[in-house]
Structure 1
Amino acid sequence: MSSRGFLVCADITGYTGYLSHSELEHATGTLADLLRLLLAHVQAPLHLSRVEGDAVISYATAAAGIPGQLVVDQLDDTYVAFRRALEQMVLNTSCRCNACANIGELDLKFVVHHGEFAVQRLGQQDELVGPEVNLLFRLAKNRIRQSLGLPGYVAFTAEALEALALPGFGETLRDHTEDDSERGRIALHVRDMRPVWEAQKDRVPVTIPAAEVVASHSEVVAAPPEVVFALLAEPATRTVFFEADGMTVDRLADGRIGTDAVYVCAHGDTVIRQTVIDWSPPHRYAFSNPIPGGLTMTGTFRLDPVAEGTRVTVVVGVPRGIKAALMRPILRRQMSRWLDHAFASLVRWVKAERAGAPG
């Protein structure tokens, strides 16, 4: 049975040259560690197909109904983790062999396509078959590094870019063409990943100190993290969770919600602007917004996969101080009531999603 969806090839840049100019024992150990990292980061909405040499092949079916943003965010997360691992390897080694000295020359590239394919279960792996899969493999051997000078990048085909459905995202990409042996000239849209690394390398998760916590709620929801995250992040469903009359998003970055984006929540005549201060789909995000008394409230969402689905933990807090101490009893009652109602709404949404009915 065939499916439609995203096809992704993650490939270590400089792999062949690194092996050729390095001591084999140390080089293979380094590459094995990096491949294990890539495998660990093939997480929903992506699913692992197989490893081929220095490449990891994964896919996401359109039937899962996952927003295109989650695919891009997952690639960002994988790239940042890969670069962070390289940086740590360089810092932690005192070995003077070529294999250790040349670690910094490695990088990571992705090719992303969208089309029809079949999944065949062979042994312990999902084998992807079909003309679109073959095209992905051919495009993985491209001239982007030579033409654009980018060692780390994501190359989207036109079909993949359209399927992402992210207005404005394509405007941030660089155009490139490849001559394919079967289909002629193929347009690729290339994202330089160096700015992604520079923007995210020093970020740490936002946490709320115990002394500042006003209210919290943790509950298991019967759906995978990527589905729950989409419900908690998309304005239409987030409106229900936050008991708002309506919600929009300002300050999108290349068509995507992310750090510094602002959820504009309408509650009658009151408008609350929640600024995203942490964003790591589908695992966590955090926001902050002003509240009366000149205070700032922070909320964190953490999603952990469990056997029954996803444990969702929400924590709300305000900084310590005289004003906060005076308002804390009121805020605790308000936030506890809101969290009870919000989680009830989330459970209803998940049940509706699983039943294929509107919420």
Structure 2
Amino acid sequence: MDVSQVEGDAILFISGLSTPEVIAAVEGTFVAFHRRLRDMQAVTTCPCSACANISMLKLKFVVHHGKFSRQRLGSVEQLHGTDVIVAHRLLKNSVPSKEYLLVTDAVLDRLPTGIRDRFTPHTESFDLGAISGGYQEIAHLWEEARARERQRVAPEEAQVNSEVTVDAPIDLVHSLMLEPDVMQRYLFSDDVVVIPGARGEELGSEFHCHHGGSVVTLRVVSTEPGRELTLYSDQPTDMYITTRIADEGDGRTSIMRSFLWDEPADAEVAEGLRQMMNGTVLAGEDAMREVFEEKARAARPV
């Protein structure tokens, strides 16, 4: 979806996605919004009232399907047409919820029954006439996502555990663990693009790891600086990886990783995934040793 206009506290998007894809994108955006609010609360040290009350922020969506034309004045492009007016008018509505997704009949008509049935019928009356559609409350989406999210993987519950000791001091290992050029080496990625976390901190940061034509997204879900961090990965299945580091003395550091993922229902696929992960984790140990020791040698005074 592309941003068309920013109007006060509202943002107008346009999209060429299918209608079910738009609904999925909206729901994903809602969860990401609340995840970022939570992370900002966790890392902020600002005592101002805005930061203190950040959890009070709410998000609402209005979705309409229709036609529009574009008009450009200088560097500013605006959308025009009756359907654009419909979307704007619906921003002022009587939906009995603080966080909702309001859609018009034009959207409902393009949704499969399973999704359409989640909406409660709703009509608004304007000078344009009555605009019918439906709404659904969406606060539960964040509650459900938060309930599914892990903060760490204990070694005893992991499907694969890994441990490697490197000739590099713990402070160096900690500072480099999430550096893109280092991650690229031990994750065997072609490129790693970073999206900073809340207030630029590690928590909530994302790493988009490019492997050929595919992209794996890793997100920091919890961190204890200098000791432990947990990442969520969206491929090859939902996966959590907790990395713990410990000072072994004499400038050496142990790196322990615990992997836990959703098992595929098919036993053959599940076994194939386990074998792939065992091989990848083992190769990752060698890659970690190589990159951290290389960085440690480069950091030593000549």
2:104 maps to amino acid? T
Please state how far the C-alpha of 1:100 moved relative to its aligned partner: 2.6
Cα offsets for 1:257-310 (capped at 9, x unmatched): xxxxxxxxxxxxxxxxxx9758xxxxxxx9834344983637xxxxxxxxxxxx
1:213-254 C-alpha deviation (Å, 9 max, x unpaired): 9xxx94349xxx9xxxxxxxxxxxxxxxxxxxxxxxxxxxxx
Mapped to 1, the partners of 2:85 and 2:104 lie a distance apart of 14
Are residues 1:98 and 2:49 paired? Answer: yes
**Superposition map of 1:19-98 within 5 A:** 46-61=1-16, 66-98=17-49
**CA contact 1:153–1:193 (8 Å) conserved in 2:** yes
2:103 is the alignment partner of 1:156: yes
Counterpart residue identity of residue 61, structure 2? F
**Shift, 1:203, TM fit:** 3.8
Aligned pair in 2 of structure 1 residues 99, 124: CA closer, same or farther (>3 Å)? same
- Distance between the aligned counterparts of 1:288 and 1:107, measured in 2? 36
Distance 1:293 1:139 in 2: 47
Within 5 Å, which residues of 2 pair with 1:250-329? 277=238, 288-292=264-268, 295=271, 297=273, 317=276
Tell me how far apart the structure 1 counterparts of residues 133 and 122 of structure 2 sit (CA, whole Å): 5
In structure 2, C-alpha distance between the alignment counterparts of 1:127 and 1:180, rounded to whole Å: 23
Distance in 1 between the 2:4 and 2:65 partners?
15
Cα 1:195–1:293 change in 2 (3 A) is closer
Contact 1:154 1:191 in 2 (8 A): yes
Question: What displacement does 1:159 show?
Answer: 0.5
Q: Which residue of 1 aligns with 2:90?
A: 139
Q: Distance in 2 between matches of 1:51 and 1:293?
A: 46
Aligned partners of 1:49 and 1:125 also within 8 Å: no
Distance 2:115 2:24 in 1: 12
The offset of 1:120, in angstroms, is 2.9
SS in 2 for 1:107: coil
Partner of 1:176: 122
- The offset of 1:122, in angstroms, is 4.0
What secondary structure does 1:108 align onto? coil
Match of 2:295 in 1: none
Partner Cα distance (1:155, 1:96) in 2: 35
2:120 and 2:135 in contact (8 A); partners too: yes
Report if the CA contact (8 A) 2:264-2:270 is conserved.
no
In structure 2, distance between residues paired with 1:74 and 1:102: 27
SS at match of 1:288: coil
Partner of 1:107: 58
Matched residue pairs, number? 188
Of the three residues 127, 132, 138, the one matched with 1:187 is: 132
Cα offset for 1:94? 4.3
| 1:110–1:154 CA contact under 8 A, matched in 2 | yes
Q: For the aligned residues, what is the CA RMSD?
A: 4.1
Q: Please give the alpha-carbon distance, in whole angstroms, between the structure 2 residues aligned to 1:293 and 1:174.
A: 40
State the distance in 1 between where 2:101 and 2:269 align. Answer: 46
Q: Secondary structure at the match of 1:77?
A: helix
Tell me, which stretches of 5 or more residues in structure 2 are unaligned? 151-158, 163-186, 188-209, 216-235, 240-261, 280-302
Question: 1:293-341 CA deviation, whole Å, 9 max, x = no partner?
Answer: 983637xxxxxxxxxxxxxxxxx93557xxxxxxxxxxxxxxxxxxxxx
* Cα distance in 2 for residues equivalent to 1:190 and 1:96: 37
The 8 Å contact of residues 79 and 108 in structure 1, kept in 2 or not, is answered as yes
Residue 79 of structure 1: how far off its partner (Å): 1.0
Kept in 1, the 8 Å contact 2:19–2:107? The answer is no
Q: Distance in 1 between matches of 2:126 and 2:62?
A: 14
The 2-side partners of 1:292 and 1:85 are apart by 38
